[in-house]
Structure 1
Amino acid sequence: MQDRRKFLKWSAAGAALLSLDRPALAAAVTRRQRPEAVRPLVVSTWDFGIPANAAAWEVLRSGGRALDAVEAGVKVPEADPQIQTIGLGGFPDRDGHVTLDACIMDEKGNAGSVGCLEHIVHAISVARRVMEKTPHVMLVGDGALQFALEQGFPRQHLLTPASEKAWRKWLQTSKYKPEINIENKAAGRKTAFSPLRLPGNRYNHDTIGMLALDAAGNLSGACTTSGLAYKMHGRVGDSPILGAGLFVDNEIGAATSTGVGEATMRICGTHTVVELMRQGHSPEEACRMTVERVVKKDPDYARSIQLGFLAINKQGEIGAWCLQKGFNYAVYSQQTPNRLIDGKSYF
């Protein structure tokens, strides 16, 4: 009699589970398996991510929105003339023009970006205005500048004396070849990556990508750069391209990339990372698998460049992977005070 009662009890429970559709059942199981989310949280690429994270954390710790946090965060390196790969003081293209690329994406899938933007320090804020004030996702070149000026952004000369001096020195040879993990003698330490041998700058790698998870559990991301130094005029990299330099899916996670943008553009790298997380892979696994895809397509090319991915998921798990040793990223949460972490590498 006791066995019969147990059988009826478990049969009823099984019937209740079967009455759920499969997606609902899978979601219920997943919710039971997942640990409590780590939030708020902000991560960003490279060592200039430390001061950028500090600005973003001021927004997050007071209950602010992830979108506001990532904009505030990346504006810090954009305004620092000593960082010669972002915003003010960025290295020019081969014709002497400082052109900026940026994009921003929120938890609802809204996005805005600018490409080849001149004369405006905070490209990320212009990208946000594109998202919020226009029916478009991207504005480029003269049109992006016209829009920025109409929105009240001040026009400013972005080529600083230091960057102009380096450009004029480059013009003597006009050599254009990426170099990986070169020694920055002026700073007295090795940098993670330089698109060229560029003496005298404190930071000589490239993009800042930032991802945030706020207290409400929402994700946003931002990405901004002045691009490869001495590039062809009009070149646009991955930073303003959704799915290449940045991608956010509030159900799953977010990813950003850094390094030679052409490599991630060819595989929609950050979208690939997020889709791999959707399939159940951790952020680190997803970044590693995406890097492996780059290597598989062209091993010799992959050995000659640097490319890295940084990702977080809805639970606040973090992962990163790059082609070459030397990539690092900054993390800030209540559990992890603002600090740098070395990313794992394929080579």
Structure 2
Amino acid sequence: MQLDSKAQAIDWAPPLEGQDATAAVEWLLQFATRHQASDVHLHMDREGCRVQFRLDGVLTHVGTLPTEAAKLILGRVKYLAKLKTYVESLPQDGRIAADEVGLASDVRVSTYPTVTGEKLVLRLFYEEHQLALNQLGFPAGVNKALEHQLGIRAGMILLTGPAGSGKTTTIYALLQRLLEIDPCHVITVEDPVERVIPGIMQTEINLERGLTFAKALKHLLRQDPQVLVIGEIRDEETAAIALRAAMTGHLVIATLHAGSCRGVVERLNALSDDPNLVASQLRLILNQRLVRRLCADCSGKGCAPCFGSGLRGRVPFLEMLRLDEANQGAIETKRLARLEPDLSFEQSRDDLLGQALTTEAEINRHLQL
């Protein structure tokens, strides 16, 4: 087995004796869980199988498995995920039941063929990671604005940010807070459902069976929802349904991919072709990133728990825009350069650096996204 210095420092030693990969798979997943990895990457190449963990949003190499052992381990993962173990030339998706590998939550598995061999990505979920709204680390002003909008129960809240920026965690925190304030009928359409929340009607889209966001929403509006959550607004039809739902007295919470709060408005305008409707129904946009914080164990010097990076754990880095009268007017007149966020990335940056929570280099890395 080939190990690098970081792997040795974190005690990388999967059990590879014999031909039974059961113990190795369980060890690998439990090892990843101890280090709070969100994803495990297993990639076959000419020298074996490279193992990488996504830690705090950054892909980190932890070791290499010998070729023969790796084949057994990948085969075992596919078997547990109820995939075709003999198929390596086509992508497959599956799920490993938590009790099969001694974890608290299921593991999502994706396979993909590459020129050097099969690539598997295992997504891990953590029940304890579901935070309440006041545990997300948002500034007091952001929490107050979100709480205010939840109380109105109308209009649209949009979240944006790159993959892995915590949008789903924020949405689930908002839903939990809604149920605490005043239990209501909440329906979600997600891709996929990452966590089941008691008291909420959750739906998972299935493209193979023709259940898209737009098709699900058409029917769900007949289920008498008070709050509608849309995993992602991807097309004109979904945007039109979301805006119509907000206009008819529903609170709509959704994500839409864009690089800034202004970019969200630009994209929604392009999808709906009705800036007046967008201005009247959009209430708040939250653009979020998660930046790595200085490691509490080594104060940024680098140690085994932080894999030598000096950074461990994450804090929110935010931009927020509320649709007050001035911002609504800017949208209606298509003068989006006049949109003024209540919290800018520059203000958030100064706050994080002022509290010595992270580094300037880490913040700059996220501003380039």
TM-score range, shorter chain: under 0.3
